[in-house]
Structures are given as structure tokens and as C-alpha cells.
Structure 1
Amino acid sequence: MMKQFEGFGKFLESLRGKMSLREAASKSGLSHAYIRDLELERNRSTNEKIKPSPVTLKKLSDAYKYSYTELMEKAGYLEKESIECVRSPLSLPLEDILYIEISSTELTYHTRIGNRKVPMLSLLDFSHFLDQLEEHDFKKMDADVFVNLSHVKSYQPKEGKLFLTRSV
């Protein structure tokens, strides 16, 4: 595994910008104390050096609206050269997909004509794919479900119901 770049904590703090720690915590689902520890690059209780996990980085990526792939690279999980070598991360017919369920080893995408499971072969593929979803108007609705907003007719948040359009 690569080494996290020097000053990663300060970089995270700069991404947060003028957002308060409590607001960042609310947007990311992480505690404000943990976010501050990440910015200081150490656990303030034990004084041990800490490094965010890929899951934590995804939460911060969503909260700060910053590329997950770039955060993974800066945290030392991905090498820049390998990112540049991959030109087509994962090609799925995103415009036809209604929603996608993601597990740790595969994703299942649902279209009007059926479902298909696709294995997730690498962390690099996964991080590129998540970036690709954001670019194609997909919204994270649950921990492992992304919905194509272009196919949503209406949403009733109190009931947790999502209605999709009939025609594509």
C-alpha cells in the first residue's frame, strides 16, 4: 500500500472549508470529533496516528463534494499511475438503469427489462464507478442503493416510497 501524502489532514480540513465540524458530521454521518482527529492525523485520546478507511473517505467525498478517486489517491490507497492507465472504469448502460444495489463484491443494476449482477473486480473500478454515478445524475438513497434521478416520477420521503416513470 502506498503512503498517505504529507499534510493529508490539512488537506481534509481545507476541503471542509468554512463548514463547521458539526455540519460536516451531519452531512457525512461521521462524528465531529472523529473528523477533527482525521484533520489532525491522530487520535486525540491515544495520540496514535490514524488514517481514514475507504468507507470513511467515501462519506467525506459525498459531504465535501470531492472526487472519491482523488481522495483515495491522496490517502495512499490508489497509485496515480494506475488511475491514469484505466481509461474506461466500468461501462454500463447508465441511462437505462433505474437503480443500482451495491455490495462488497458485486453490484446489481435494475432496468425495465430485468436485473444483472456485475462483479466488482477492484477497489479502483469501484471508486471510478462511484464517480461515474455522480456524473450521470444518480443519487445515493440508502447505504447501498443509488437511484437514477432521471427516472424518478415522485418521492414520498415520509413513507420511504419512490415512484419511477413508466416510459424510458
Structure 2
Amino acid sequence: MRGRAGTDGGQIALHLKGDSGFGFELNSLFGDDNVDGTDEEAFTGLRPVITYAASGFSARLGYEYQDVELVGGGAIEKEGIGAGVTFDLGEALVNLNVAWLDDQTADTEVYTYGASLVYGAFGAGVIYSETDLVAGADPEVTTVYAAYTLPLLDINNARAPRLTDDFR
């Protein structure tokens, strides 16, 4: 959950990791967005995530819910689901992700798909997103990127993650 809480709000995070490779997280954001504590813009957010990690493979599945009561009345309500897998492909690391967002206030849905490949210090990927609007054209965005990890300041383990690392 993203955001800042004022004087009458906060965040709570619970992280549970099991020996079997399964993990569970529950993150929350709640309260008042104003520093003076007048509750003029109250918000609530929950994000549970289930993870699994084994040798050469990891997976995650999450849900997010946001509800914001606006100062002048009305509300913003959003929910979404995201899932991803990461696995070794020889010396490379492959990431596949999918997400869906339902903005109930704007009556808009967003679908996003991503794939990336990391080999040593090099990485490349593609992200595709499509927004389903009530009126007008439905925008689509495709992003293609490449990356290189620079070894700076001789910091140990400052490198791209491997599945042999502890993802849990």
C-alpha cells in the first residue's frame, strides 16, 4: 500500500514465512490523510500476498483494495489482482507478470502483462498495458526496455538477484 497517514492513521504489515517455501504478507494503510487529524479525507487499503519459493522457481499472487473518502464528498474505490512467476532458464532468470485493476469510481479497468529476462548483469523486458475506458478510445501502451547492472563501490551482493537467493 502506498501513501502517507496523518495524525490519525498508520500502516500495519504482517509477514509470515514458512519452512515449506510458502509465505504470506498482509499490508494495510488506514486513517486520515490530513496532518491536523480532522478526518476530512479518510482512506483504507489492504494488500494480502501469497508467495511460494523453491529451488529455481518462485510465484506470487496478490490482491489490493483501496477506499478513499474525499473531502468534498464522494469516494474513490479500486481493487486489483496481480500474479507473477520467476524461474531459472539455464543461466538466465525469467520473470512473467500479469495484473488487473478495477477503478470502480471511474468505471475503468486496466490489464497489464510483463515479461523480462536477466542474464548476468544484462536484462531486457517488455510490458504491455491496455486500459478499458467507458467512453472514448481504449489506450494501449507497450514498453520495451534493456538494462545493465553496474558494479559500483565494490558492494557485496550488489547484483541482479538469482533464484538461488532467498526470495522468501
Normalised by the shorter chain, which TM-score bucket? under 0.3
Name the structure where strand makes up a greater proportion of residues: 2
Output the TM-score relative to the length of structure 2: 0.25
Structure with more relative contact order (C-alpha pairs < 8 Å, separation 6 or more) = 1
Name the structure where helix makes up a greater proportion of residues: 1
Output the TM-score relative to the length of structure 1: 0.25
